[in-house]
Amino acid sequence: MITLTNLQKRFGELEVLKGIDVTIEKGTTAVIIGPSGSGKTTLLRCLNLLETPDGGSISIGNHKIDFSGQKVRGADVAALRKQTGMVFQNYNLFPHLTALQNIMEGPITVLRKPKEEVRKRAMDLLEKVGLRDRADMYPHQLSGGQQQRIGIARAMAMEPAVLLFDEPTSALDPELVGEVLRVMKDLAEEGMTMAVVTHEMQFARDVSDKVIFMDQGVVAEMGTPDEVFGNTKNKRTLQFLNKLNTI
Amino acid sequence: MFADERTQRIIGILSDSFFPILKAGLYFTIPLTLITFVLGLILAFLIAIARLSNVKPLEAAARFFVWIFRGTPLLVQIFILFYGFPSIGITLNPFPAAVIAFTLNKGAYSSEIIRAAILSIPKGQWEAAYSISMTKSQAMRRVILPQAVRVSLPPLGNSFISLVKDTSLAATITVTELFQKGQQIAAVTYEPLWLYIEVAFIYLIFSTVLSFLQSKLEQRYDRMVAK
Ligand SMILES: Nc1ncnc2c1ncn2[C@@H]1O[C@H](COP(=O)(O)OP(=O)(O)OP(=O)(O)O)[C@@H](O)[C@H]1O
Ligand SMILES: [Mg+2]
């Protein structure tokens, strides 16, 4: 469903992704873990082309872009990006729009769908993230957890083939983490395809189908949660997991 | 006795002149301010967009324009336009000349305010817009500009209030706005001190009302910008 082949990304001299090969099956959730600076965010940003990879290829559904050849066409970028939705660490909601308007903005401005239809679907999404009664509130009137759930609904409104999450709960007060993870778990159970960068190991264990451990720009280990958390033989994974446990 | 007569004379002059001066303000100063402010804003917006366009010639032209109009006195710009241009065959009436000069000058200054406001919107807002597949111009129109407008309200409000006062320069090219009217009356009554204090007082009324409206507007739009 999502296939990354030998994906590479450099920032000047710094090689951040050194050839990533990953597949994520349709309807599954992949969790990406790894130490700070290992390239997790960069990988997600390459997936929706907020960063342009320097080599390798990305295919999502039946859209594929090869980055090793000539310059990438804008139309290809747009087509691939339409397949992805992004949930940001600090929400990045549009502060001048209400919760409902945040969700409706994409379908109306980009997809040019009829307003009534979009509103109905947006209300359904609000219902789903448990915020139907907050439809007319502005982001600054909502808690972090509520904002992040709106962020998820905004991404879902574009009906992407895959949802990308970059540490969606790490800016939240501990008591608000659960409500966001709950929504993500529901999505996973409904068969949404997701790639999630997170430090929430319990979530990784319970919800994910695949754990991808990144270290220094490469995939150091990849497997089911049982394989990675249960009995990994990989030294770097062990080190990382031990460090997490001692915190 | 003498002092009393003098006081009464001044009070008489001031009360006779108050409404004519106020009227000059309402007929010329305020329209001049409003027209130039609106035209100046439109120009400023175009210049700001040009400077952020990444199209080299456009960027350079906009930068050149701002350099000229910010680097020279407004009074000199007005004189070149009104007293200088007739010698190359372009003769303007005082009021349109004032409108053009103020518009160009305000446009140059305000473009910097708008540009700074656009640049102040966090990168995350662009990325969020792109992440829902907006194009650059959709992101600009729907996400960045509405926030940039709110950011630029305070500085634009200040520049609007200073424009009210700057329009007194139009007196130098014979526009009978507030200040010019005060000058005329001062010249025939020989009471410059009191008349100019009266003129100052009327400007003060205008700018106080505007400051009040400005702060109301800002309060309304507070919190609507990504921090
Ligand atoms: N725009 C950029 N320009 C230059 N270097 C960058 C840029 N973005 C990321 N980097 C560098 O790339 C490396 C990987 O960064 P990335 O943000 O992908 O790591 P990460 O795994 O998400 O880390 P964290 O867990 O701290 O979020 C880091 O060394 C970082 O400094
Ligand atoms: Mg990161």
Q: What is the pTM of this model?
A: 0.88
Categorize the per-residue pLDDT at B221 as very low, low, confident or very high, splitting at 50, 70 and 90: confident
Chain B: nearest CA to A205, how far in angstroms? 28
Q: Which atom of ligand 1 is nearest to the CA of A42?
A: 18
Name the band, by pLDDT with cuts 50, 70 and 90, for residue A247. low
- How far apart (Å, rounded) are the C-alpha atoms in residues A38 and A216? 4
**Interface contact flag, B124 A105, Cβ < 8 Å:** no
CA distances from A14 to A107, B17, B196 (A): 38, 74, 67
What does the pLDDT look like over A128-149, one tens digit per residue?
999 999 999 999 999 999 999 9
Residue A105 has pLDDT above 90, yes or no: yes
Q: Do A88 and B147 touch (CB under 8 A)?
A: no
Q: Whole-angstrom Cα distance, residue A116 to residue A109?
A: 14
- Compute the CA torsion angle A74, A76, A77, A79 (nearest 10 deg): 120
* pLDDT confidence of residue A244: 80
Nearest to A104 by CA among A126, A85, A119, A82: A119
- Say if ligand 1 is within 6 A of residue A50 CB: no
A19-23, B102-106, B159-163: which has the minimum mean pLDDT?
B159-163
The separation between CA A70 and the C-alpha centre of its own chain, rounded to angstroms, equals 28
pLDDT at B2: 66
Percent of chain B with pLDDT over 70: 97
Query: pLDDT, tens digit, for every residue of B74-87?
Result: 999 999 999 999 99
Mean residue pLDDT of chain A comes to 94
* Candidates B120, B131, B141, partner chain A, best to mutate (most A CBs within 10 A): B131
CATH classification of the domain holding B117: 1.10.3720.10
Domains identified in chain B, total number: 1
Å between B133 CA and nearest CA of chain A: 6
User: Has residue B154 got a pLDDT over 60?
Assistant: yes
Residue A9 Cβ inside 6 Å of ligand 1? The answer reads: no
pLDDT for residue A142: 96
Strands A84-87 and A162-166: parallel
Distances (CA, A) of A149 to A40, A140, A207, B62: 22, 14, 18, 43
Tens digits of per-residue pLDDT, A191-224?
A: 999 999 999 999 999 999 999 999 999 999 999 9
d(CA B103, CA A97): 33
Q: Is the pLDDT assigned to residue B224 strictly greater than 80?
A: no
Residue B93 has pLDDT above 70, yes or no: yes
Unique residue bearing structure tokens 């990953």 = A22
A88 and A151 Cβ atoms separated by less than 8 Å: yes
Which range, of A94-103, A173-182, B170-179, averages the lowest pLDDT?
Answer: B170-179
Compute the average pLDDT of residues B188-204. 93
- Per-residue pLDDT tens digits for A50-102: 999 999 999 998 899 999 877 888 899 999 999 999 999 999 999 999 999 99
Q: What is the pLDDT of residues B53-80, one digit of tens each?
A: 889 999 999 999 999 999 999 999 999 9
Cα within 13 Å of Cα(A84), Cβ side: 30
What pLDDT, on a 0 to 100 scale, did the predictor assign at position B223? 62
Angle made by CA atoms A61, A58, A167, in degrees to the nearest 5: 90
CA distance A245 to A236: 14
Residue A144 Cα to ligand 2 midpoint, Å, equals: 19
Residue B102's domain comprises 2-226
The values of phi and psi at residue B17, to 5°, are: -90, -15
Looking at chain B, which runs of residues are DSSP E strands?
Answer: none
Helical H segments across chain A, by residue range:
40-47, 74-82, 99-105, 115-128, 144-157, 174-189, 201-207, 225, 231, 235-246
